[in-house]
Amino acid sequence: MTATDGAPPPPRKGELRIVGTSVTRETERLLERVAEAVGRRAPRVLQVGSRTSVSDRNERNWRALVSRRFGAHADFVGIDIEKGSNVDRQLDICRPSSAIRQALGEEPFDFIVCCHVLEHTVAPWKAARTIEDLLRPGGLAYVATPWSQAFHASPDDYWRFSIRGLTLLFDGLEILSSFYSGGDVGLDVAYRLERDGQLDIQAGGGAVEQGLFQLVLDHEDNQAVLARQATGRLPVSRTYLPTLFVNLVGRKPQK
């Protein structure tokens, strides 16, 4: 079908494109990458911030996903700064990797998951170094953090990240994939930016992203939005941000 038939025209060379996807699709793709990396060997997997709570209705059960994909032989370890359900060891990811190894063993990890954790750490740059150090060469890390989200103290809330900010934190990894995802319960919508069929995480994409991240309302619409809130809000802005997460997949280079 051509553009004259109503279909969108093909992208021009060098044109930035917004490609629709879903977190489910990206998760399946990620687990395939892990399978390719380990071959027939059972992977060793670490989940950082593994504690589950009632508010985690939209969170994926990584222990179950890994078990379903790799079987019962996969070595899965869940750590968290607090005790709770799904926590194997109470550890702080901001501690040096040597301290984590002393508690969990010297064998490196093939796959590390760190979802919605870094915004709660007092030193995310230390957490990033520890995650990189704990990975096996060729191992994969999946990091998800909020770009825009309401304050949520668990136990506290310090940071927000852009994709380019995450690439700076994890500068020891080769970036394989990045995408944005929504935060509403039951909504599995995501997208990534590509140029000429390749991942694009350069600053030039900012102009496109700026128009997608926010909704600017006139005065009447602004008041209508406020009127629909369950509790009173001060009309401090006519610009509203959705709950939006940034996701990054990185690979530790081979020695």
In this predicted structure, the answer to whether residue 32 has a pLDDT above a threshold of 90 is yes
Give domain limits for the chain.
14-201+243-251
Of residues 14 and 41, which shows the higher confidence score? 41
User: What pTM does this model have?
Assistant: 0.85
pLDDT above 50 for 78: yes
Q: What's the gap between Cα 98 and its chain centre?
A: 25
- 222 vs 80: which has the higher pLDDT: 80
Q: What's the Cα-to-Cα distance from 126 to each of 35, 67, 80, 248, rounded to whole Å?
A: 28, 29, 15, 17
Q: How much is the mean pLDDT over the chain?
A: 85
Residue with the bigger pLDDT between 205 and 24: it is: 24
Enter the tokens of residue 183.
């935060």
Tell me the average pLDDT across 22-42: 95
- The residues, ordered by sequence, that sit 6+ positions from 65 with a Cβ below 8 Å of its Cβ are 27, 31
Pairing of strands 174-182, 244-251: antiparallel
Residue 28 has pLDDT above 60, yes or no: yes
The CATH number fitting domain 14-201+243-251, selected from 3.30.70.20, 3.40.50.150, 3.40.50.300, 3.40.190.10:
3.40.50.150
Q: Is the pLDDT of residue 204 over 80?
A: no
Over range 227-245, report the average pLDDT: 67
Average pLDDT over residues 67-82: 94
Top mean-pLDDT range of 10-24, 48-62, 123-137, 194-208:
123-137
C-beta atoms surrounding 215 within 10 Å: 13
Whether the per-residue pLDDT at 56 is higher than 60: the answer is no
